[in-house]
């Protein structure tokens, strides 16, 4: 059944209760590689409850919710899940995320774009607690074979970094067990754990979650450019350009701009194969 963009966009928003505590945040931080070295004061702010700061990318797993799954169940969206890819992600912070919280997430399909051979579904989730708005997430879902329904093509997401050498380049090793740990934050897709499932999906072995690499890259930017201050992040957007495997190494390149950091992430062991591109961190 083709996508009914008008029906999807006009559907009533869905509300979900979210709760989280310091254990959820510590588990998430460990899942994106925090805690090495374990006694480093700069790492303890991610791992020790008495010093805990919340990396803004935690918004993508708060409450154990999976935005991609929610978008696929929206009215007017009837697509083959095997053809679905997580195309991109944006988190906009309205204020720092508290260490523990109870909030309401309100989600709806904000846009459906017709790319010809594929469709791009933009799922927007607004999260607020008793004190007001906390964050807004835009999840871009790429559905292969679902285009051609006569909709708008939509804007280009391309963001080129400056045409000069990066100001910072860091490498972050991915542990062999990192996908197994990260999935405990709520993404149970066997693609990230089961070799047989990964082979059927066309991969030589289980791949790392895109949102895990997303968190790893933001942590690298916060630690390298923003003096470890998570509260300076205002928004973080990326396009998932390729995969990285547990056991490989992410190379993160950063270009400073006024109030903005342009970023790329590549897989070192595969000749700098693209992992994240069109990536920007806006900050104060």
Please, are residues 218 and 279 in contact by the beta-carbon 8 Å criterion? Answer: no
Q: What residue has token string 């973080």? A: 236
Neighbouring CB atoms inside 10 A of 9's CB total 18
How many whole angstroms separate alpha carbon 243 and alpha carbon 239?
12
How many whole angstroms separate alpha carbon 108 and alpha carbon 111?
9
Mean pLDDT, residues 248-272 taken together = 98
How many whole angstroms separate alpha carbon 229 and alpha carbon 249?
24
pLDDT at 146: 84
For the whole model, what pTM was predicted? 0.95
Please, are residues 141 and 86 in contact by the beta-carbon 8 Å criterion? Answer: yes
282 as an active site residue: the answer is: no
20-48, pLDDT tens digit by residue?
A: 999 999 999 999 999 999 999 999 999 99
77-94, pLDDT tens digit by residue?
A: 877 766 788 999 999 999
86 as an active site residue: the answer is: no
How many whole angstroms separate alpha carbon 283 and alpha carbon 250?
23
pLDDT at 2: 67
How many whole angstroms separate alpha carbon 244 and alpha carbon 206?
9
- Catalytic-role residue among 24, 126, 187, 223: 187
Neighbouring CB atoms inside 10 A of 113's CB total 18
pLDDT at 82: 67
Neighbouring CB atoms inside 10 A of 257's CB total 12
Neighbouring CB atoms inside 10 A of 221's CB total 20
165-188, pLDDT tens digit by residue?
A: 999 999 999 999 999 999 999 999
Phi and psi at residue 250, to the nearest 5°: -90, 130
196-227, pLDDT tens digit by residue?
A: 999 988 899 999 999 999 999 999 999 999 99
């Amino acid at each position: 059944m083709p996508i009914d963009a008008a029906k999807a966009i006009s559907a009533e928003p869905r509300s979900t209760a979210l709760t989280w505590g310091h254990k959820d945040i510590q588990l998430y931080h460990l899942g994106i590689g925090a805690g090495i070295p374990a006694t480093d004061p700069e790492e303890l702010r991610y791992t020790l409850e008495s010093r805990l700061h919340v990396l803004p990318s935690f918004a993508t797993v708060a409450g154990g919710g999976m935005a991609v799954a929610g978008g696929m169940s929206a009215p007017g969206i009837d697509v083959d899940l095997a053809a679905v890819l997580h195309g991109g992600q944006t988190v906009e912070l309205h204020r720092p995320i508290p260490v523990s919280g109870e909030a309401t997430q309100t989600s709806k399909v904000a846009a459906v774009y017709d790319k010809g051979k594929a469709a791009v579904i933009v799922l927007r989730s607004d999260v607020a607690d008793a004190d007001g708005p906390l964050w807004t997430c835009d999840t871009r879902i790429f559905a292969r074979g679902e285009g051609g329904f006569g909709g708008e093509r939509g804007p280009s997401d391309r963001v080129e970094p400056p045409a000069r050498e990066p100001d910072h380049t860091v490498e972050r090793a991915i542990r062999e067990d990192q996908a197994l740990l990260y999935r405990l934050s709520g993404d149970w897709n066997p693609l990230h754990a089961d070799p047989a499932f990964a082979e059927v999906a066309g991969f030589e072995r289980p791949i790392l979650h895109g949102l895990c690499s997303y968190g790893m890259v933001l942590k690298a930017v916060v630690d390298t450019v923003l003096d470890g201050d998570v509260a300076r992040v205002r928004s973080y957007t990326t396009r998932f350009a390729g995969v990285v495997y547990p056991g490989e190494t992410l190379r993160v390149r950063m270009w400073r701009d006024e109030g903005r950091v342009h970023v790329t992430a590549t897989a070192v062991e595969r000749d700098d194969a693209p992992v994240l591109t069109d990536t920007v961190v806006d900050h104060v």
